[in-house]
A = this chain, B = another copy of it.
Amino acid sequence: MSPRHRRPTALKEFLFGAPYYPEHWSEKDRELDADRMAAAGMNVVRMAEFAWDLMEPSPGKFDFSLFDQTIEKLGTRGIRTILCTPTAAPPRWLSLRHPDWMRVNRDGQPMVHGSRQHFCTNQPGFGKESVRITRAMAAHFDNNLHVIGWQTDNEFHCHINECYCPACRSAFQSWLKTKYGKIDALNSAWGTAFWAQTYRSFSEIPFPYPDRPTHANPGHQLDFNRFLSDSLTAFQSAQIKVLRKANPSWWISHNGIFDHIDHWKFAEGLDFYGVDVYPGFSFQPGRPEPDPVWSALKHQECRAASGNFVVFEQQGGAGGQRPYLLPTPRPGQMRLWAWQAVAHGADGVLHFRWRTCRFGAEIYWNGILDHDNIPRRRYQEFAAEGGEFRPLGPKLLGTTTLVEVGVLVEQDQDEAHGTMPLGQSGPWDQRKHIFRELQRRHLACGLVNAADSFEGLRILFLPGFVLMDEVLAEKLCAFVKQGGILVASARTATRNRHNGVFSITAPARLDACFGITVEEFGAHDDLRFKLGNTSVASDSYFEILQPVKKGGARVLASWEALADSAPHAAPGQPAFTVQKTGKGKAYYLGTHFGVENTLQVLEAILSQETITPLATAPDSVEVTCREGQGRRLLFLLNHSGGEQKVTKLPAGKNLLTAKATGASVNLPAYGVAVIEVRNR
């Protein structure tokens, strides 16, 4: 099996366009829109995700005429349509009929009509409504050749990702029954002997609350989080089934990426996954530029789940809600961000949105066109993008992003960390620190799901993998034996899949692979370890490592004495080790990857391994590579506001200028180059 993360989409055209809301505009506006869209090089719009009340103004009475007309109007200009199931915003008549179908938050408050995502997707009745409206849309648009694919719902779990309604309690109990079969198995798995929580039947299981009055069982909590994902996936599957049956040529996707969803399993039923990316959310006070690693990881999370993907919403202007206003993209940034998506595996980019709405909760989520419908700077930049993607699309399709250094990701690890964070850096934090340093070195790096094939990977980071099972342990050991470099950090393999702690010493089932065991651990802000001549900070945590007796690991760094030379268990004890196993090596770091140590630790590891950067470039320049169909494309992305130089490049052609390029390329502020490498 080739890795899922290297899977291209089956799209026939690179998608370029915008979400569009014909229901907000007059007929005259829509006429002009079609012409301007075509002029901007758009080949796709996304529509209808918030139009249920328009399509079914009263129960059972459908009216699709607005979308028929709009799809036709756009189709004749070569612009295809992505339709959406409209279940994120059911009509008022449905919430009035079924006030008990609303989601209930952790405080026991039911959601209300008046914004969106208020319905509980585990309410059986709402599940039927979801299938009914999907079926009605599918039947109606069945033969419309301009409709090429579907987005299910919209941004599942964006505003609220839990529900504590009675239907969810029943569904959770059923889910547990399916998983455990007998209640004793559950009691044993969760360890309900603790705090006298033994259950005698599945119908006795309550919701886990963190504060009613105190902490829930972590096995209980972890299973609930998994249930949230599985039940949502089932809700989506019912829609997918209807659509597949109606027209097998349609592709189906969804625009993530939000919490409490196991993206690997959730994306399985989709043709490919999608993601909404607003780099403005990565702004920090006093830091006037967005963080490109933040958006790179958004794309990578999507890629790791399903391979090539589509960005359904890329920031198209200043964006704001009640409490905040994201900065408007500077000249060149919208294009830069679109190409960043492509560099990480996007086979399509839609900028949110065609025109800023004049009413409703998003009057300041700005579109390509302003409220007054006058095309300005952002429209010009958008149209220029369109002019680039149209000719280059065929070159991009079929290629996928090269990954030689993988950073392992698994939803279960993030969920497990969330049940017991202890104030420590979790998988997400560590992925970010590692990815930032790998990108700074311009290595071919990417997130890889633990369930995916590790084929083609040379180095694999394992950040925050507290949960471990035999299958994964063997897979990791095999990776090392076959020549891979594995790098783990503190707390790896300390808990089983029920979120209980192993009875054997950590890292359980991986001690032979790493050649160490963990003898003691604790939090301590001031501890440091000595790496070569450098004193490196721990990330608020330490483990005392002990090489296992036979074939033990080599100690690369030990904990240093405290500045005040007070007694402490750690000083003098191993903090960072490596062991050769088979053809590979396994590194173990006895603290988390943090802001202050990741650079030094990676330096120490990479200096030992021969892995070639894609190019030499300043920190602010991102470099990735897409390969496939006999092509190799290098993406150079300058995230800084000044000119930057990239060197040690292979000879090739910059597809954006159609000019030959040599070993070095100068990128203007926010500039992009796509080098097709010669003589591959």
Contacts and interface: CB of A to CB of B under 8 A. Distances in A.
Interface of A: 21, 23-24, 50-54, 57-58, 86, 89-93, 96, 103, 105, 107-118, 159-160, 190-200, 204, 206-210, 212-220, 285-286, 288-289, 318, 320-328, 330-332, 356-364, 370-374, 376-377, 419-424, 495, 498-506, 519-526, 562, 564-569, 640-642, 669-670
Contacts of A21: 194
Nearest to A103: B213
Contact of A111 (B213, B322, B359, B421): B213
Contact of A195 (B328, B360, B420, B495): B360
A489 to B, nearest CB: 16
Contacts of A195: 50, 89, 115-116, 360-361
A665 to B, nearest CB: 19
Contacts of A641: 562, 564-567
Nearest to A288: B526
A21 B193 CA distance: 10
A50, A196, A214, A568 interface centre (most CB from chain B within 10 Å): A196
A218 B321 CA distance: 10
Number of copies: 3
Contacts of A424: 325
A568 B328 CA distance: 10
Given A325-B522, A328-B520, A330-B567, 13 more contacts: A89-B197, A92-B200, A112-B206, A113-B206, A115-B195, A117-B214, A191-B358, A197-B360, A320-B420, A325-B423, A358-B500, A376-B519, A562-B641
A506 to B, nearest CB: 8
Contacts of A58: 200
B198 A57 contact: yes
Contacts of A421: 322-323
A286 to B, nearest CB: 7
27 contacts: A50-B196, A86-B196, A92-B199, A96-B204, A105-B213, A111-B212, A113-B197, A114-B206, A114-B209, A115-B195, A115-B209, A116-B195, A116-B214, A159-B213, A159-B214, A191-B357, A288-B562, A325-B523, A330-B567, A330-B568, A332-B567, A358-B501, A363-B420, A363-B500, A377-B520, A567-B641, A567-B669
A361 B217 contact: yes
Contacts of A569: 328, 330-331, 377
Nearest to A377: B569
Contacts of A210: 322
B419 A112 contact: no
A59 to B, nearest CB: 11
A89 to B, nearest CB: 4
Contacts of A219: 359
A332 B323 CA distance: 42
Given A361-B215, A371-B502, A523-B327, A194 B288 contact: no
A72 B391 CA distance: 84
A377 B570 CA distance: 11
Contact of A374 (B207, B220, B322, B505): B505
B112 A372 contact: no
Nearest to A286: B525
A103 B211 CA distance: 12
Nearest to A566: B641
A358 B89 CA distance: 44
Contacts of A220: 114
Contacts of A502: 358, 371-372
Contacts of A564: 641-642
Nearest to A374: B505
A242 B50 CA distance: 51
A50 B194 CA distance: 7
Contacts of A325: 422-424, 522-523
A92 B288 CA distance: 54
Given A199-B92, A642-B564, A327 B524 contact: yes
A457 to B, nearest CB: 31
A193 B500 contact: no
